[in-house]
């Protein structure tokens, strides 16, 4: 059955590829597109009252979320979502969705480009030529990357795309990830390492491809760079927080490490203008302007994915790629399954008995039998703090009119 498509008001806070906007407009949504951020974004969503907010790199703070009580969904048109206050969104019952993997090829292309640029000193070549200097002797000493060992930290979509390109350039690959198995590494044509430091010690080039979170903050620290080979290349296209920039500065100065960086700890908030990036002037550093995902191809497929997520939610109230919902099964301390006649008020009476026991319902799954005369309700619940006897609650439900049978299962945890 189709119960009707929900036409939504959608606020797009940054430039979105035209194909994605067209897909939303074709579905009949009301689109508001304004390139705003910070307090201006907070004021805009408070005034416009959208149901969906779409962002790329714009930060969505608790204040912005609080300012918009109509908000149902925040869509990050990209993979990472560390720029969104997910805890506040969860507190407000707002879905946070992302578009993983859609920009993986673009980021991988930049990572490979930085490797080649560093090896051949391409940027320095260009600068000298533009300033009228010819220095073939200086720039004829590249090592080359064929046959070299690439070290990968992580095993997400981008890491896999980088590995595929590296294998195509005859590179060897070693890698580490917390969840990496020998079989998983073998499938990628890589050699698994026991630790991050083992990757560093065995690679000519190390490339980071991990999510930014509390576990990866400062992952590339002094010990990391001490373990790297002298003169090795270091690539970061993930997030600036993953790198201890003081430790990297030490490695640039004392180990001859050369770095290709697309991200930094303190990036400029504006799209253009002056910037003061401490490492930018270091001769061993090549910097790009956080453009890893910024190709026309990547922007198109990401925009279409964001539109797909929104249109599916508008149609069936299912939030694909949601990052802030939990598996309700993991929350249950018990499940009651009740077979009952399909009559008005029966399910409400069952739930009232459960409420009276002080149990909190965490999930309800209703199955109808052929003919529509009977149904089965599977009700997951938690009962922390409740002193009600489960057997008595089960009996009370069983005694309700039009209930056919009630069974109770409680979770058992190993000591």
| Cβ pair 45, 11 in contact under 8 A | yes
Kindly state the tokens that stand for 310. Answer: 């929104």
| Residue 169 three-state SS | coil
Distance between CA atoms of 377 and 365, rounded to whole angstroms? 6
Strand order in the sheet with 334-341: 360-368, 374-382, 334-341, 403-410
User: Dmax of the chain from CA atoms?
Assistant: 93
Confirm whether 267 is a catalytic residue: yes
- The active-site residue, picked from 239, 258, 332, 340, is 239
Answer whether 380's CB lies under 8 Å from 326's CB.
no
- Concerning whether 413 is annotated as a catalytic residue, the answer is no
Are residues 185 and 191 in contact, defined by beta-carbon separation less than 8 angstroms?
Answer: yes
* Phi, psi of 207, deg, nearest 5: -125, 130
CA atoms in the 13 A half-sphere facing the CB of 386: 19
52 and 16 Cβ atoms separated by less than 8 Å: no
User: From CA 60, how far away is CA 86, in angstroms rounded?
Assistant: 9
Catalytic site residue from 14, 226, 265, 267: 267
Residue 57: both structure tokens together: 């790199």
DSSP state of 93: T
- 60/37 Cα distance (integer angstroms): 8
Structure tokens given for 403: 């209930």
Residue 258 DSSP SS3: strand
Helices (H), 169-258: 182-188, 196-201, 222-227, 245-254
- The helix, strand and coil proportions of the chain, stated in percent and rounded to the nearest 5, come to 35, 20, 45
**Cα Rg of the chain, angstroms:** 27
**Known catalytic membership, residue 290:** yes
Report residue 304 CA to chain centroid gap.
17
Per the DSSP assignment, residues forming a β-bridge with 260 are: 235, 286
Strand partners, 366: 377
Q: At 311, list the tokens.
A: 């249109």
Active-site choice (30, 289, 290, 308): 290
Q: Which residues are catalytic?
A: 239, 267, 290
């Amino acid at each position: 059955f189709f119960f009707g498509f929900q036409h939504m008001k959608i606020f797009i806070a940054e430039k979105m590829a035209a194909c994605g906007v067209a897909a939303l407009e074709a579905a009949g949504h009301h689109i508001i597109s304004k390139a705003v951020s910070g307090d201006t974004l907070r004021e805009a969503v408070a005034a416009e009252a959208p149901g969906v907010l779409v962002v790329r790199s714009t930060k969505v703070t608790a204040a912005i979320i609080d300012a918009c009580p109509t908000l149902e969904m925040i869509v990050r048109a990209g993979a990472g979502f560390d720029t969104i206050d997910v805890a506040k969104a969860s507190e407000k019952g707002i879905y946070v969705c992302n578009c993983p993997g859609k920009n993986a090829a673009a980021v991988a292309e930049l990572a490979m480009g930085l490797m080649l640029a560093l090896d051949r000193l391409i940027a320095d070549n260009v600068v000298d030529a533009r300033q009228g200097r010819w220095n073939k002797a200086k720039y004829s000493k590249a090592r080359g990357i064929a046959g070299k060992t690439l070290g990968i930290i992580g095993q997400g979509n981008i890491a896999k795309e980088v590995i595929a390109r590296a294998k195509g350039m005859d590179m060897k690959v070693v890698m580490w990830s917390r969840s990496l198995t020998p079989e998983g590494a073998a499938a990628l044509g890589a050699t698994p390492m026991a630790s991050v430091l083992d990757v560093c010690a065995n690679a000519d080039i190390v490339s980071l491809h991990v999510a930014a979170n509390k576990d990866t903050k400062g992952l590339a620290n002094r010990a990391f760079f001490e373990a790297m080979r002298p003169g090795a290349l270091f690539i970061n296209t993930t997030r600036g927080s993953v790198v201890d920039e003081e430790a990297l500065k030490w490695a640039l100065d004392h180990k001859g490490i050369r770095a290709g960086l697309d991200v930094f700890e303190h990036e400029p908030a504006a799209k253009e203008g002056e910037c003061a990036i401490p490492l930018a002037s270091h001769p061993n550093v090549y910097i790009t302007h956080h453009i890893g995902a910024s190709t026309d191809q990547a922007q198109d497929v990401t925009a279409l994915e964001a539109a797909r997520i929104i249109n599916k939610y508008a149609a069936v109230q299912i939030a694909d790629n949601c990052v802030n919902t939990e598996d309700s099964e993991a929350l249950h301390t018990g499940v009651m399954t009740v077979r009952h006649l399909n009559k008005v008020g029966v399910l409400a009476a069952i739930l009232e008995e459960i409420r009276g026991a002080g149990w909190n319902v965490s999930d309800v799954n209703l199955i109808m039998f052929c003919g529509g005369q009977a149904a089965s309700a599977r009700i997951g619940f938690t009962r922390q703090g409740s002193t009600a006897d489960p057997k008595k609650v089960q009996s009370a439900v069983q005694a309700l009119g039009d209930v056919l049978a009630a069974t109770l299962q409680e979770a058992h945890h190993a000591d």
